[in-house]
Amino acid sequence: MALENGQKPEDKAELAAVTKPTDWTIVVLRVVAFFATVTATVVMASNKETKSLVVAPPISVTLTAKFQHNPANVYFVIANGIASLHNVFMIVVHFFGDKFKDKGLQLVMVAVLDMMIVALVSSGDGAATFMAELGKKGNSHARWNKICDKFEKYCDRGGGAIISSYIGLLFLLVITVLSIIKLLKRN
């Protein structure tokens, strides 16, 4: 469907008007992905649990589990934050992108950026998942004790954030595939 030199600008506007109603699927998917990644970021960033253990009657030790203690979780928060911003940016571009002159370049930039964000979110998810698994089960070979039996709420919240991020990742993957299909259809 490449634009030939003989085609008039009115036909181009008609083409744009015809393709617009079918693009609502991608916008809805992006909104859902946005909510998923924002939930993941916020839930993980607010993940904190404090416990006081009484060592001897007058002395009590306060132990805190914060998400920052684990660099994988920090990366998870950063990756999902960037993904949320990307989703917002893409929704804005979708509605106001008709003013962009070079449609082909816009499509390829959208596809490439979507792919990059899928990479970012998948790496954040992978690291956080396996860190959470280590915290839940420990590793007897390395003599690393599990921490989830002491900090249940922390682990539950972290798990919820990771699940939400996986949902976001799934939607982002579908969006990437759709963007690539759109790019290939222009071919």
What is the phi-psi region of residue 56: left when phi exceeds 0, alpha when psi lies from -120 to 50, beta otherwise?
beta
Segment (H or E) for 54: strand 48-56
Using the contact rule CB under 8 A, the part of the chain among 53-61, 91-99, 157-165, 179-187 near other proteins is 179-187
Query: In this complex, which beta carbon is closest to other proteins, that of residue 91 or of residue 174?
Result: 174
Residue 144 touching other proteins (CB under 8 A): yes
Candidates 37, 47, 135, 157: give the one binding other proteins (CB under 8 A).
Answer: 135
Using the contact rule CB under 8 A, the part of the chain among 20-28, 40-48, 53-61, 128-136 near other proteins is 128-136
Residue 101 touching other proteins (CB under 8 A): yes
Candidates 27, 72, 91, 93: give the one binding other proteins (CB under 8 A).
Answer: 72
Residue 147 touching other proteins (CB under 8 A): yes
Query: In this complex, which beta carbon is closest to other proteins, that of residue 59 or of residue 142?
Result: 142
DSSP 70: S
Burial environment of residue 141 by CB neighbours within 10 A (0 to 12, 13 to 18, 19 or more): exposed
CA–CA gap between residue 79 and residue 46 (Å, rounded): 16
CA–CA gap between residue 56 and residue 78 (Å, rounded): 40
